[in-house]
Structure 1
C-alpha cells in the first residue's frame, strides 16, 4: 500500500530546493524564449508572438514519442507524421499518436485535476486500443505487477495495490495534487511517483503518469505554452529513473525529485537546441521562397511544416482553412522551391514531406536514445 500523501508534511532540504528551482527556471526560460525563436504565421516578414502553434505541436509530439520510448515503443518522425494523417501502417506510430492525444487531454484538463480528469487522459491514450479499449477510462479491477512472468506476480519487481484499494488511493493522490504549498516540479515528481505506485490501470500507467506531470506543470502555472520533452531526460538514464521509483516506494523521495530536476534541465537545453535547428531550417526555406509574392499561400503553409513535416492536400486545406485549389497551389509553391518532396509517386492521394525537418527530428530522437 502506498503511503497517504494528501496531508503529509514535506520539508524540502535547502540543496534539493535549490536544485528544483534551477530546473524550474530552465523550463520557464524555454517556454518564454521559444516564442521569439519561431514564427506563428508565414510571410517574407513573419510575425512572432506568444502563441506558438507549430513549435508547441512538435515539442508535444517529441515528448509523447519520448514517453513512449521509455516503454520501447520507438517510431521515426516520418511514420509519426504519417500517422497524424492516418496514412501510416506502423502500429507503434498509431500508439504514439494516441499518446499525443493523451498529452493534449492532460493539458486541456490541467485546470481541474481530479480522478475524472486522469480517467479521461487514459481513455485518450487507450480508447481505440484493440486489447485495452474496452476497459480504458476506468480504474482496474484486477491485480497488476511489474515482472517477467505475465501469469503470476511471484518474483515480480513490484506488485501494485489490490484493486479494492485503488479508488481511495487515487482520491488521496488527487487531493495531494490539489495542494499549493510545494515547488511545482517537485510536486509533479512526487505525484508521478505516487501514481506509478498506485498503478491504477491495467495498461498505460507510465504514459498516463507522465502526462499527469505536464498537466501539473501547466495547471499550476509554471508553463503556459510548451510541453518540454522531460521524458527525453528520463530516457537518457532509464535505469536511474526506475531505481528512483523503487526508492520512493521504500520511503525515499529524494531520488525521484533529483531525476526530474535533471530531466527538466536536459529538456530545456535540448529543446532550445531543437528550436534553433528548426528555426535555421525555416530561415533557409524563406530564402528559397524569396521570389514568391508576400500574399502567396505558400508563406502561410511554411511554418506549419514544423509541426507537420509530412502532409497531403486534405491536411493543407483544413490547416489553412482554404479551398482545395489554394491548398494545391501552396503545396506546389513549396515543391517548386525544393522545400517539399512528393514521396508516393502516385497521381492520387499524394503525400509530400519536408526532408530537412524530418532529418532534424530523427537526429534529435537518436541523440536522446543514447545513454547519458
Structure 2
C-alpha cells in the first residue's frame, strides 16, 4: 500500500561545544528526517499482510478470552515479561534475581530499578488507555516513571526534548548517524498528529498499533526512553481498542530475538514500506500470543505441583502462601504476612519450609529486608522469552 516516506531536510547545526574530529567541529548543517503527518491517512492491509493481521487478531483474542479471565495472574506475568524484554533491547538486563529484589523492595542494582520502572511505566500507559484516550499527559507521565531511577535522565523526564538527537554515529554530532529525527521544534505538532491517529476507531487494530509505534520511534520525542515508551504504546493501543482488557501481549520478546530485523523494518517504514511494519507486528503478535498461551497452561498447573511437593496442612500458613503464589510470586515479610494473616514467626517458618523444598528461593538475605521468589514462575518468564524467540525465528 502507498504510504508517504519521510522527507529529508537540511537544517542549521549549532553544537553547544566543539568536540570530536575536525569535520565535527566545523559542522554547520545536518540532514534531518521529517515524518509525514498521519492523522488522516487511511490504511487497509491486503494479501499476505491482511492474512497476517487477521491471524494476529484471532491469536490475541484467543489469549485474552481463554486465559485472561480464569488465570488472572497471567496479566501481571505477561506485563513483566514484556517490560523486561523491552528493557533488554536497550541493553538493560539485571537478571531475574536482581529484578525480583527490586520488586520486593530490597536493595537492588540500577539496572533492576530501571527494569521495574519500565513495568510501572507500561502499567500506567496501558491502564490509562483502558479508561480513556491516549494523551500527551499520559505519555509524559509514563516517561517520568520510566526515567525516575536515573538521577541525570530524570531531569529531562516528563517533557519532550528541546535538543536535536540522533541514533548511532558520533557522541558529539549527527555525522555518520543511523537516523536523525526531526528538529525539536516540530516534536509537539508531530506528537499531536500521532495521538490523533492513535485515537481513531476506523483502522485495523494491529495495523494502527504498528504504524503508531513506528511513527513514535521516528519522531523520537524524548532525550532518552523512546524505545521503551514507543513499544509500550503498542500495548496501550490494543487496550484502547478493546482487543485486550487483561493481558499484555509480550511482543518485545520477538523484537529482542532479532533486533537487526526489528530496526530494519523501522527504517523501511521511514521509506514508505508500511506493509512491512504492519506484517512484522502482526506476526509478532501471533508468535508471542501462542507462546504465552503455553505459559498460561504451565502456570495453571503450578499450584497443584506445589501442593504435591510441600503437602501443607489444611488451613496452614504454608497452604495460604501456596494458594497466593501465582498472584504474588515475589514476597517480603509484609506481603507474606498479609497472605497468612498470622505472626512474623509463623510466617517466617512457612517461608523457610517452602524454601527448603525448592518452591521459594531467597533472593535477598538482608535481615531487614528479605525477599523470596517462586522459582518456577521466574523460570517460566525466561522460558516464555526463549519460546517466543524460537517461534519468531522459525515463523517470521
TM range (shorter): 0.7 to 0.9
Change (3 A) 1:322 1:141: farther
Q: Is 1:357 equivalent to 2:377 in the alignment?
A: yes
Q: How far, CA to CA, are the matches of 1:320 and 1:136 in structure 2? A: 40
Preserved CA contact (<8 Å) 2:287 2:388? no
Change (3 A) 1:318 1:131: farther
Deviation at 1:290, TM superposition (A): 4.0
Deviation at 1:116, TM superposition (A): 1.4
Bigger Rg, which one: 2
Q: Is 1:207 equivalent to 2:228 in the alignment?
A: yes
Relative to the length of structure 1, the TM-score reads 0.88
Q: Within 5 A, what are the aligned runs for 1:29-40?
A: 29-35=62-68
Equivalent in 86, 89, 93 of residue 74 of structure 1: 93
Q: Any idea what SS the aligned residue of 2:152 has?
A: coil
Corresponding residue of 1:27: 60
Deviation at 1:121, TM superposition (A): 1.4
Change (3 A) 1:151 1:343: closer
Q: Is 1:236 equivalent to 2:257 in the alignment?
A: yes
Q: Is 1:136 equivalent to 2:157 in the alignment?
A: yes
Q: Any idea what SS the aligned residue of 2:173 has?
A: coil
Q: How far, CA to CA, are the matches of 2:156 and 2:96 in structure 1? A: 30
Which shifted more, 127-136 or 303-312? 303-312
Change (3 A) 1:318 1:193: farther
Q: Is 1:61 equivalent to 2:80 in the alignment?
A: yes
Corresponding residue of 2:316: 296
Which shifted more, 349-358 or 219-228? 349-358
Preserved CA contact (<8 Å) 2:321 2:340? yes
Change (3 A) 1:14 1:319: farther
Which shifted more, 270-279 or 354-363? 354-363
For residues 165-207 of structure 1, give each alpha carbon's deviation from its aligned partner in whole angstroms, at most 9, with x where no partner exists: 0000000001101111111111000000000011100000010
Q: How far, CA to CA, are the matches of 1:131 and 1:369 in structure 2? A: 34
Number of equivalenced pairs: 357
Deviation at 1:129, TM superposition (A): 1.8
Change (3 A) 1:117 1:240: same
Corresponding residue of 2:218: 197
Deviation at 1:139, TM superposition (A): 0.6
Change (3 A) 1:321 1:13: farther
Preserved CA contact (<8 Å) 1:301 1:316? yes
Deviation at 1:232, TM superposition (A): 0.8
Change (3 A) 1:158 1:176: same
Preserved CA contact (<8 Å) 2:121 2:142? yes
Corresponding residue of 1:42: none
Q: How far, CA to CA, are the matches of 2:340 and 2:226 in structure 1? A: 36
What RMSD, in angstroms, separates the aligned Cα atoms of the two structures?
A: 2.4
Q: How far, CA to CA, are the matches of 1:273 and 1:266 in structure 2? A: 11
Structure 2 gaps, min length 5: 1-33
Q: How far, CA to CA, are the matches of 1:345 and 1:9 in structure 2? A: 56
Corresponding residue of 2:176: 155
Deviation at 1:285, TM superposition (A): 0.5
Preserved CA contact (<8 Å) 2:363 2:373? yes
Q: Any idea what SS the aligned residue of 2:189 has?
A: helix
Q: How far, CA to CA, are the matches of 2:330 and 2:312 in structure 1? A: 24
Q: Within 5 A, what are the aligned runs for 1:79-98?
A: 79-98=98-117
Structure 1 gaps, min length 5: 36-49
Equivalent in 166, 188, 199 of residue 145 of structure 1: 166
Q: How far, CA to CA, are the matches of 1:249 and 1:268 in structure 2? A: 27
Preserved CA contact (<8 Å) 2:288 2:388? no
